Amino acid sequence: MQDDRYGRHALIDWFSQPRVQSARFVVAGAGAIGNEVIKNLTLLGAGHIAIHDFDRIERHNLTRSVLFREHDVGGHKAAIAAARARELDQAVQAVAVPGDFWEMLSFEALRRADCVIGCVDNFEARIRLNRLCRIAGTNLIDVAIDSRRTSVEVFPFASRPDCACYECTLPPGVYERIAQRYSCSGLRRLGLEERRIPTTILTSSTAGALAVSAAMRLLHAPQETTTARRVVTDTISFTTSVAPLERAECCPGCGDLMSEIQIIACDPVVALNLAAAAADPDVSLRMSDALITGGSCAACGHTLDADLAPRLRVARGQDERLSHCRRCGSDVAITVQDQFTPAELCAQFAGVRIPARFAVFDAGDTSVVLDFLAAGRVCPM
């Protein structure tokens, strides 16, 4: 009697158990799809799985989440999913990273990963994850579902860095929907209810299987994937379509990146070292996040300087209450910027911590990324 846990895998002519056991995966999102992806990776004997999710388990998650139990309601999705994965196979290093991957997932960790599987449920998160993977040169698989269809998009950034990225094929309507969440100043609109997507375990399990299958092919035969592609499966009609994704030259996600990318760790506190890192005090730094730099009330002259602590804030992290004057209640004209020169930052915000994830500037044929997260917390990969 064969007692090798992975004995059946050895019968598959293209499958290498040692390769899978040495692989490192990042799973962003531990909801319905994330549960299936984590379960599949674990049963295949994946060596290391870093699970990112900031959310907690709600009761309605139980109908679509194989790793969650009734008594888990209220717990962190990432922590519970990682614990269940370790129960399935103690040899798998499943690590929970509760929190927003934008603030926790380092470029260093991404570059060590073989593949990132995005199981997030909104366009903004997909766009941010795509940007991180494109800069790091790490393979990305984006997964989405509705009540009957699954979509699996494969971006082989590791072997084809010039392939299309997630944003290359996004229609304008996506950005219009994102804009509905924010005011003209980039502040979150209060009371906006997110549209919920109807889903079942049927689509999430199908999507999870297809996503991990795509990850296995990237791992074992990267030469097969020569371009980005989208695979759409209808779980009712049993039809599947596969389409290549073409790169858009003016893509907001990758159109501003040069052929070469260099990542430099940079202290986010504004000081002379920022100008030294950029090598030019007048170079244009493109921030990963739009930042609120100030504002004033036209009615009473009150400024936001006293209200902003710290003095630089990420616009999307604030809501519309900031646009109302605390002194007289009138509207405040808020100043938002996403580009600065080092000289400008040093002159106006010396000693202030830049809350952006990173900044990018061009140096010849190279896009230089100033990695502000490197000086803070990093993903335990």
Sequence ranges of the domains in the chain? 7-244, 260-375
Q: Please tell me the predicted confidence (pLDDT) of residue 3.
A: 67
Q: What is the pLDDT of residues 233-286, one digit of tens each?
A: 999 999 999 999 999 999 999 999 999 999 999 999 998 778 777 778 889 999
Nearest-angstrom CA–CA distance, 62 and 201 = 10
Whether omega for the bond prior to residue 310 falls within 30 degrees of 0, making it cis, is yes
Q: How many Å apart are CA 223 and CA 226, to the nearest integer? A: 7
Closest CA to 258 of 362, 165, 158, 358: 362
Answer whether residue 306 shows pLDDT above 70.
no
pLDDT of residue 1: 38
Which pLDDT belongs to residue 192?
64
Tell me the sheet residues that pair with 337.
291
Residues 6+ apart with CB under 8 A from 127: 166, 167, 170, 253
pLDDT at 191: 67
pLDDT at 238: 96
Mean pLDDT: which of 216-220, 281-285, 297-301 is highest? 216-220
| Cα dihedral across residues 211, 114, 25, 41: positive or negative | positive
Stretch 285-297: mean pLDDT: 93
Q: What pLDDT sits at residue 310?
A: 59
Provide the pLDDT for residue 381: 43
pLDDT tens readout for residues 323-339? 888 888 888 888 999 99
Answer whether residue 2 shows pLDDT above 60. no
Distance in angstroms (rounded) separating the CA atoms of residues 162 and 155: 10
Predicted structure pTM score: 0.93
Beta-carbon contacts of residue 60 (< 8 Å; ≥ 6 apart): none
pLDDT higher than threshold 80 for residue 195: no
d(CA 61, CA 351): 44
pLDDT of residue 11: 94
The more confident residue out of 243 and 189 is: 243
Q: Over the stretch 88-116, which tens digit does the pLDDT of each residue have?
A: 999 999 999 999 999 999 999 999 999 99
CATH of 7-244, one of 3.30.565.10, 3.40.50.11240, 3.40.50.720, 3.40.190.10: 3.40.50.720
